[in-house]
A and B are shown apart, each in its own frame.
Chain A
Amino acid sequence: MSKKFFLLLIGFSAYFLFGSFIIQPKYWLNKEENKKSNPTVETETLYNTYCTPCHGSQGDGEGELAYLLYPKPRNFTKGMFKLRSTPSGQMPSDDDLFKTIKNGMAGTAMPSFTFLKEDEIKSLVDFVKKLSQKCPPNQPCENYFTGAVTNPVKVPEPLASSAELVEKGKSVYTSLGCDKCHGEKGIGDGPSALTLKDGWGYPIPVRDFTSGTYVGGGSPKDLYLRFITGMSGTPMPSFESAINEMAGTNDADRQKYIWGLIHYIKSLEVKNASTQNTISPENNIIECQKSSAITDTDKLFGNSKIWSNAKTYSIPVNRLWQKTSNNQLLVSVSAIYDGQKVAVKMVWNDPDKTDNTYRIQEFQDGSAVQFSLTDKPGFHGMGSKDSPVDIWFWHSDWQARIGKDNNQLYAHSSYADGHTTDYPQSIHPNALSTGRDAGNNLSQDIKSSPVEAVSAKGPGTLKSKPTINQNVTGKGVWAENKWTVVLIRNMSGGKEEVQIANGKEIPVAFAIWNGSMNDRNGQKMVSTWYKLKVR
């Protein structure tokens, strides 16, 4: 071996041993060590998976899905954050940002990220702070958090609610002028409501207090902070100095004044009946319990004992395009399996049953369950290329069409003088119908199941499975202003289908469409990710 070659070999060995160690720790170290040595790589991946689709990779609020959302995703580069515990004019504390990401913003498209680990959320807080900078042309960027002072407001213990306190709060509500925007009855219809705009010039709906849904949480302490600090980038001002002016300096008076107002606002909430006897999933886990044999769909409704072992979970779903009220709904979810089949039940309030497809201006009720095909779920809005999803989609209008052809459904039943173009097979049973005969599920004029099995690899990639792979059955029953929908499938699935087996934890999410609120397609109410634990 020549000396030169020997030296070269040593050089190469040294490079492989140490060089790559230094240059590319990502490929060298195991996952845990990698995180310590180079946190930004993983944080950036997290941000890009869960935040970029809406907030954009630079945090400017111009993500590819931003146009589908209302209110718009926050632009971090303006340094304004809605939920603060700090006085007006200050930046939010790390804890404020942590809570915002963890809990999400109820009634808006911002989901809760309870399915992430605490240190993952913390690293996202740091990443968002890093993006929160102003970059004037030809000048260095200036981060809003550099040297920012944050003195969180101390929230005193709330006074217990009483009729007297609520009465006091009612007069405070008017004397402060809350009614100017929130309206006399607190339903968000005050005289100034329709002219309000957010910090980017978009119209902004006023909180409807009867909905009981608050972006920053609905506890009295949460409301105290919103009231005292205001909400940056919205018309909601800080009432801190107003309180000093109006409630006087006596602390007892001041407490009565503020908590009275908060208890009055809380008293306006209309209780949601469908959430009785339900629990919030602990650690985001929805248990799928063993049951007796799942047979006839009809036997899964009413007082069926088959669900007696199953727990009922209360899952919030939030509307992606906010309406003036009712942007959050609680869906009661339960799941069972018998070793062969699995059944998922969803129950939610819907006072108007809408399943008609005759008029183009009408939309239909629906619900869906989404499973991630990867253990770590992708973006909750229909997954991503690396993390596809399997969706079971129940359509109220498909159910109304079961066993009925178009003529029976529309023209002849709804309008005596109506006319629809005849499908070829209504003229001759063997006539060719290209879509139907090629196995396109959507071309079937007579529906046999109200459930559509679909797959997706990210927003805009939704694909109905071929007719032969439509393996999900189910049914919806509307009674007493409520929908109850049960979806059933074999536990083992085929290609691009979720495998449900004992001991598995499968990421799962839910969606609801309310036809009378004009929900359709992407415009719907969605939940964040949970885990279906089969035990």
Chain B
Amino acid sequence: MKMNVITSAVLLTLCLSTATDSTYAGNNGNTVAGGSVSGTVKFEGTAPKPRPINMVADKVCASQHTSTVFSEDAVISSTNTLKNVFVYIKDFKGTAPAPKGAVSLTQSGCIYKPHVLGLMVGQKLEITNDDALLHNLHGTPSVNKEFNVGQPKKGMKNEFTFDKEEVGIPIKCDVHPWMKSYLHVLKHPYFAVTDENGKFTISGVPAGTYTVEAWHEKYGTKTMTIKVTDGGSAMADFSMSKK
């Protein structure tokens, strides 16, 4: 019983401290707790030519596309900005409860949508098959557990959760070797993925000094130290290049 009292006390303190430290919910009327981190990821050097995907191995996949499909392992805009970079606060100490809502990943036309996805420890990931053929969801984490589930039917859904933090979990389909997606699992919600213009915004970050990391499947990682103030907006522009 003694133990329980102590544990409860510790838990209570933790709860209280989290509540005061990180009210990450953001917009709360006029009082804004925390600030935002935003920026652009640039690509330095000559952008590689987009790599077309050959779907000849499965005619059903190919029939769902009217134009050439390109690999999303390096999506670089005309102004040399990089899409699908996962940007997150690397050294955030606190934790937050997982949001109730599920994050979804869809296999459509034998392509994963989206290509890069962030979610929280314990948060549900719902993977749906939008194709009328067999896909297998083969996650090959190094910290979390491997999973490999067959989805032979259109509309089939499977739910997964991850109990450990891990950045860069590859998900592949062995049936269609070009299909690849990356998952990033964090204990906190301070992450974003760059859009077509290489831009990202992480909002509601509790004030403090942090290391921000940008992660790309092909071009590796870049880090930067930033200072977030209440109501302020910190800038974090990255540039990546061929290794």
Contacts and interface: CB of A to CB of B under 8 A. Distances in A.
Interface of A: 80, 88-90, 175-178, 180-181, 191-192, 195-197, 199, 230, 232-233, 235-242, 245-246
B152 A175 contact: yes
B148 A196 contact: no
Interface stretch (B27-35, B66-74, B116-124, B130-138): B130-138
Contact of B156 (A232, A237, A245): A245
15 contacts: A90-B145, A175-B152, A178-B134, A180-B134, A181-B175, A195-B177, A197-B174, A199-B140, A230-B149, A230-B150, A235-B148, A235-B174, A237-B137, A237-B148, A237-B150
B222 interface: no
Q: List the 3 closest A-B pairs by CB distance, nearest first.
A: A177-B134, A235-B174, A237-B136
A177 B149 contact: no
Contacts of A245: 153, 156
A199 B136 contact: no
A454 to B, nearest CB: 43
Contacts of A232: 146, 148
A242 B150 contact: yes
Contacts of B133: 177, 180
A88 B174 contact: no
B146 A89 contact: yes
Interface of B: 57-58, 133-134, 136-138, 140, 145-153, 156, 158, 174-177
A176 B58 contact: no
A241 B159 CA distance: 10
Contacts of A90: 145
Nearest to B133: A177
A239 B174 CA distance: 14
Contact of B175 (A80, A180, A246): A180
A177 B135 CA distance: 9
B156 A233 contact: no
Contacts of B138: 235, 237
B57 A88 contact: no
Contact of B149 (A175, A197, A241): A241
Contacts of A230: 148-150
Contact of A191 (B58, B136, B149, B174): B58
Given A176-B150, A235-B174, 17 more contacts: A89-B145, A89-B147, A175-B152, A176-B134, A177-B152, A180-B58, A180-B133, A181-B175, A191-B57, A230-B149, A232-B146, A235-B148, A237-B149, A237-B174, A241-B158, A242-B149, A246-B152
B148 A242 contact: no
A458 B110 CA distance: 50
A197 B170 CA distance: 14
A80 B152 contact: no
Nearest to A196: B174
A88 B149 contact: yes
Contacts of B151: 241-242
A297 B145 CA distance: 60
A151 to B, nearest CB: 14
B57 A195 contact: yes
B74 to A, nearest CB: 21
Contact of B150 (A195, A199, A233, A238): A238
Contacts of A180: 58, 133-134, 175
Contacts of B148: 88, 230, 232, 235-238
Given A89-B145, A176-B134, A242 B58 contact: no
Contacts of A192: 57-58, 174-177
